[in-house]
Structure 1
Amino acid sequence: MEATGVAARFGEHRVFSGVNVTAATGAVTGITGPSGCGKTTLLRVLAGLHRPAAGEIRYDGAAAAPRGSLALLAQHPRLVCNPRWTLRRIVAEPAAIRGTQADIGDAVERVGLTAALLDRHPGQVSDGQLQRACLARMLVQRASYVLCDEPTAMLDPIATGDVVDVLREVGGTAAVVLVSHDAALVEALSDEVLPLSAAAVGH
């Protein structure tokens, strides 16, 4: 995934400009910066959820990522999960989109989510348990591009460790972009670190 000269605006307000990001397959690219510098907006631009005001994004040379090849791990899992679905259905969603049957057992085990929780709804589990379900869904998806927005911000230390372990594993096969204000986390996980405050002025 490669972003070149990307700028983002909300109306007349410029969030950032001149941003260049290259995320290689098999590596983790970390993006840091102070609150309000546009880290989440940049991730939304990379995900195709916010149209850039300038620049371009290429996915293995193509202007758009193939359907189902991009996964977004959000900071607030409750905002991206259907409250009427069970955790089992949430985890299996990528397979359902592909029209295949999913054996979610391995993914669930790898993120430390107990089988007893799978038939509960988001309102019946903690934020950490729901984020584990989102992490398992990402594994089931087998995405080529993985975008993570403060994925450990709401988690306890044990859940944070599980997320870090899985992201290390995913970073071996996918192009991963990790956005966080936690510089220590980014340094520990990333092969390359981009400070957005510097990139935003074209450095």
Structure 2
Amino acid sequence: MAEQPVVPGAATGALVADEVTVAYGRQVVLDRVSLSVGRGETVGLRGPSGGGKSTLVRVLALLHRPSAGRVRLDGTPVSGVRYAVPVAVRIRVAVLFQSPRAAADPRLSLADLIAEPLRATGHPAARVRPRVDELAELVGLTPDLLIRRPHAVSDGQLQRACLARALVHRPDYLLCDEATAMLDASTQAHVAAVVGDYQRVHRAGVLVVSHDPALLSRWADRVVDLPVA
């Protein structure tokens, strides 16, 4: 596995951050950073804590507008963020965050947590439950767990539900932001295996943000270092 600098990505077949700058007031978090994740490849991203890795993930996920630069999806520039982006575009990129408890609505059962993106985009009810059951089986959630709320399951079980939710729209790109850092070794391995199988079937591009060199060595095709702003 080669270690490479952050470089501009290809024009097509990739999710690309192109000369992205993010600043909060006078504090520059990302300074003209370019990164590409090609279809079918796994890119590892590492950098110091507080160095902007999660901010870059949010920019690539179309959740945060950069101060300068742009995101390109398979060669097409994407303007706007969140609900200003057409549904057909924004569901092509999904995120699995580090903390499942911060990412999950505590009022929802795990089944409703997985179904939430489908309902938000107007999928018919008759198609929602079969997809939830399919994904629950994929990530290893039994029916008795699906009726529980987040407080009644472990971090590993909740992260499996969050992974199922991330895959619910069959995204072309999956961004894993320290997604296994809070999990035990067996759950880490299971999450990585599910993501790897999904990637092979759907030729998805995967970005793995991690401080763990062993994980990046096993998982990533190439590793890039985020420059300090």
Asked whether the two chains share a fold, i.e. TM above 0.5, the reply is yes
**3-state SS, counterpart of residue 168 of structure 2:** helix
**Are 2:90 and 1:67 equivalent residues in the alignment?**
yes
Q: In the alignment, which residue of structure 2 is the partner of 1:168?
A: 196
Matched, 1:99 2:129: no
Inter-partner Cα distance in structure 2 for 1:178 and 1:165 = 13
SS of the equivalent of 1:135 reads: helix
Normalising by structure 1, we get a TM-score of 0.91
Indicate the structure whose relative CO is greater, using CA pairs within 8 Å and at least 6 residues apart: 1
Counterpart in the other structure of 1:48: 62
Distance 1:131 1:144 in 2: 20
In structure 2, give the amino acid aligned to 1:47: A
Q: Secondary structure at the match of 1:35?
A: coil
Count, aligned residues: 199
Query: What residue number does 1:36 align with?
Result: 50
Question: Matched residues in 2 for 1:133 and 1:35: separation?
Answer: 26
Point out where structure 1 has 5 or more consecutive residues left out of the alignment.
Answer: none
Instruction: Provide the residue aligned with 2:28 in structure 1.
Output: 14
Confirm or deny: 8 A CA contact 2:94 2:167 kept in the other structure.
no
Give the C-alpha shift of residue 98 in structure 1.
4.2
Paired AA for residue 156 in structure 2 = G
* CA-atom RMSD in angstroms: 1.6
Separation in structure 1 between the aligned mates of residue 57 and residue 90 of structure 2, nearest angstrom:
18
Which residue of structure 1 aligns with residue 113 of structure 2? 90
Query: CA offsets, 1:122-178, max 9 Å, x none?
Result: 111111110000111223221112111100011111111111101212333212111
Q: Where does structure 1 differ by over 4 angstroms across 4 or more consecutive aligned residues?
A: none
Structure 2 unmatched ranges of 5 or more: 1-14, 79-84
Shift of 1:184: 1.6
What TM-score do the two structures reach when normalised by structure 2? 0.81
Distance (whole Å) between structure 2 residues aligned to residue 161 and residue 185 of structure 1? 10
